[in-house]
Amino acid sequence: MTPRQKLIKRLFDVVLATIGLVLTWPIILIAWIIASIETKSNGLFVQKRIGEGGKPFWIYKIKTMYPNQPGSTVTTAKDSRITKSGRLFRRYKIDELPQLFNILKGDMSFVGPRPDVPGYADKLEGEDRIILSIKPGISGPASIKYKNEEEILAKVANPKEYNDRVIWPDKVKINKEYIKNWSLKKDVYYIFKTIKG
Phi and psi at residue 29, to the nearest 5° = -65, -45
pLDDT digits over 169-190, tens only?
999 999 999 999 999 999 999 9
pLDDT at 17: 97
Q: Where are the alpha helices (DSSP H) in 40-166?
A: 84-91, 99-105, 141-145, 149-154, 159-162
Helices (H) and strands (E) in the chain, counts: 8, 4
- pLDDT band for 70, please (50, 70, 90 cuts): low
Task: Over range 83-102, report the average pLDDT.
Answer: 95
pLDDT digits over 19-58, tens only?
999 999 999 999 999 999 999 999 999 999 999 999 999 9
- pLDDT band for 76, please (50, 70, 90 cuts): confident
Residue 165 CB neighbours (<10 A): 10
pLDDT digits over 130-182, tens only?
999 999 999 999 999 999 998 999 999 999 999 999 999 999 999 999 999 99
Task: Over range 3-9, report the average pLDDT.
Answer: 95
- In contact, 26 and 7? CB cutoff 8 Å: no
Which segment of 11-25, 63-77, 183-197 scores lowest on mean pLDDT?
A: 63-77
pLDDT at 159: 92
Collect all residues with Cβ–Cβ distance below 8 Å to 37 and sequence separation of at least 6: 43
The rounded percent of the chain whose pLDDT value lies above 90 is 86
d(CA 38, CA 136): 30
Specify the DSSP element, H or E, that contains 95.
Answer: none
Which segment of 13-17, 35-39, 122-126, 133-137 scores lowest on mean pLDDT?
A: 122-126
Instruction: Return the CA Rg of the chain.
Output: 16
Model pTM score: 0.89
- In contact, 110 and 54? CB cutoff 8 Å: no
190-194 contacts: CB < 8 A, separation 24 or more? 190/111, 190/139, 190/140, 190/141, 190/144, 191/16, 191/110, 191/111, 191/139, 193/144, 194/93, 194/138, 194/139, 194/143, 194/144
